Amino acid sequence: MLPRVLAALMLLLTLTCARADALMPVEVAPGVYAFIADLGEVAPGNAGRVGNSGFVVGVTGIAVIDTGVSFRHGQALLAAIRRVSDQPITTVIITHAVQEFLFGNAAFEPTGARLISHSKSIDLMRQRCDHCLENLRLILGEEAMAGTRLVIPAPAIEGDHERIDIGGRTLDLLHPGWAATPGDLLVLDPATGALFAGGVVSIDRIPELRDADFGGWVRTLEQLPLTGAGVVIPGHGPPVPIGQARTTLDYLMALDRQMRKLFDGGIGLMDAIEGAAVPAFADWAGYTTIHRKNALERYLQLELDELGR
């Protein structure tokens, strides 16, 4: 099975050199497809389509993993899925509560699919997604966001592991605890070892600490091989073999080392942000923007840790 996965990845890497057509699904394992989005941040030039999505085709049904940034994005994903299979969409899974992964829900609502997410992600959607939608309309414009509304998933996943049937094929929904976000879900296809990692893994794009529990995220990434996955579809960036998914962990640890060095050296907050270079990741998308925010977040976390001692 693994040689087929790696062959598919080589094809994918060729295709992702030209990512303009982010709605061309790539089969990363038998019956498992990924849409590889733009690596940038939400902007009019990419219509906000910066979060990966995917789907798994079962015997009599399809599961969709994440739905995009807008109603129109969701419609485009649905149309692309229909070019692959006309099986009914039975399940839509939202891996985490970040705007580029969930506002396409309304496009899938008419399919009658059950729309599920972790309860902690649903709580976060209720707390902030109306505000996120307002911001998206300001950034992307009313036309790009036409028809977009917040659709809250139900039912909620409460535990750390639930196996679901999507129509003759099972998927494992794994909640590792608070990692990149409070309600992270990993979606594993046991038949192929394909793992949709949502916000837990980011490749070639700086991951965001805004909603993270740093220690929980590190532990989740360290334990990722224990899921039995062979190929990982990240929330951002191209799919990679499981061993390469630890690149996200490498970034987090490099950031932590640099910020601890500056913090322990008595460097003030603003100077620490300016001195937070991690050169090994300078060519990743978001390095000049997201990385600076991460440096701020990590510095403040270290301050809180010190106060709590």
Six token digits for residue 55: 């789907």
Position 7 scores a pLDDT of: 44
Q: Is 224 in the same domain as 158?
A: yes
Q: Is 93 in the same domain as 124?
A: yes
CA distance to 75, 92, 195, 211, per residue, from 104 (Å): 7, 11, 21, 21
The DSSP string of the chain is -HHHHHHHHHHHHHHTTSTT-TTS-EEEETTEEEE---SS-S-GGGTT--S-EEEEE-SS-EEEE---SSHHHHHHHHHHHHHH--S-EEEEE--S--GGGTTTHHHHGGGT-EEEEEHHHHHHHHHHHHHHHHHHHHHH-TTTTTT------BSEE-SSEEEEESSS-EEEEE--SSSSSTT--EEEETTTTEEEEEEEEESSB----TT--HHHHHHHHHHGGGGT-SEEEEEES--EEGGGGGHHHHHHHHHHHHHHHHHHTT--HHHHHHT---GGGTTSBTTTTHHHHHHHHHHHHHHHHHHT-
Query: 296 lies in which domain range?
Result: 253-307
Q: Is 131 in the same domain as 181?
A: yes
Q: Indicate the residue among 204, 223, 244 that finishes a domain.
A: 244
Position 305 scores a pLDDT of: 87
Position 259 scores a pLDDT of: 97
Position 158 scores a pLDDT of: 95
Q: Is 24 in the same domain as 155?
A: yes
Task: Encode burial over 272-291: b for 16+ CB neighbours within 10 A, e otherwise.
Answer: bbeebebeebeebbbbeebb
Non-local CB neighbours of 215 within 8 Å, separated by 6+ positions: none
Q: Are 55 and 28 within 8 A, CB to CB?
A: no
Q: Is 268 in the same domain as 174?
A: no
Q: Is 240 in the same domain as 261?
A: no
Q: Indicate the residue among 192, 217, 244 that finishes a domain.
A: 244
- Count CB neighbours of 124 within 10 A: 19
Report the predicted TM-score, pTM, of the whole model to 2 decimal places: 0.92
CATH number at residue 68: 3.60.15.10
Integer Rg of the chain from CA: 19
Q: Is 171 in the same domain as 58?
A: yes
CA distance to 93, 157, 254, per residue, from 154 (Å): 10, 9, 38
Q: Is 119 in the same domain as 9?
A: yes
Distance CA 181, CA 200 (A): 8
Q: Is 163 in the same domain as 283?
A: no
Q: Is 133 in the same domain as 264?
A: no
Position 214 scores a pLDDT of: 97
Q: Is 129 in the same domain as 173?
A: yes
Report residues of the chain scoring pLDDT below 70.
Answer: 1-22, 309
Q: Indicate the residue among 203, 221, 244 that finishes a domain.
A: 244
Number of domains in the chain: 2
Position 309 scores a pLDDT of: 62
Position 84 scores a pLDDT of: 97
Q: Is 41 in the same domain as 159?
A: yes
